[in-house]
Amino acid sequence: MFTFSSNNVSGIKNEIGTLLRKMRKTNSLSQQQLADLLNLSRITIQNVESGKNFTIDVLLLILQHFNELDSFNTYIKVKSEEYDNLDSLY
């Protein structure tokens, strides 16, 4: 499950970048190798890992590559169900 210690956008982007860097390094990939595999530029990977602006499409593509898209999808479903339950209270 995805949880973040930061409570602001900048901090969360940094945490996401750190997580994705760990995934890349665990798989012994350079930024260029990952970029080539995903048809992205090395600068895009560098920007994501350093917490700079990136699109949801890039995030999902990287998560998919590392077989983490299901975890992200599960998180979204759980949060959606929580809000559905809150709606039923009103």
CATH of residue 26's domain is 1.10.260.40
Query: Is residue 13 assigned to a domain?
Result: yes
**Which amino acid is present at 85?**
N
Query: Is residue 4 assigned to a domain?
Result: no
Query: Is residue 59 assigned to a domain?
Result: yes
Query: Is residue 1 assigned to a domain?
Result: no
pLDDT in tens, 70-84: 999 999 999 898 888
Query: Is residue 19 assigned to a domain?
Result: yes
CB atoms inside a 10 Å sphere around CB 24: 20
pLDDT in tens, 7-59: 899 999 999 999 999 999 999 999 999 999 999 999 999 999 999 999 999 99
pTM, rounded to two decimals: 0.82
Q: What percent of the chain has pLDDT over 90?
A: 79
Assess whether pLDDT exceeds 70 at residue 88: no
CB atoms inside a 10 Å sphere around CB 65: 17
Residue 52's domain spans which residues?
9-89
Dihedral class, residue 13 (left if φ above 0, else alpha if ψ from -120 to 50, else beta): alpha
Query: Is residue 2 assigned to a domain?
Result: no
Indicate the number of domains in the chain: 1
Query: Is residue 32 assigned to a domain?
Result: yes
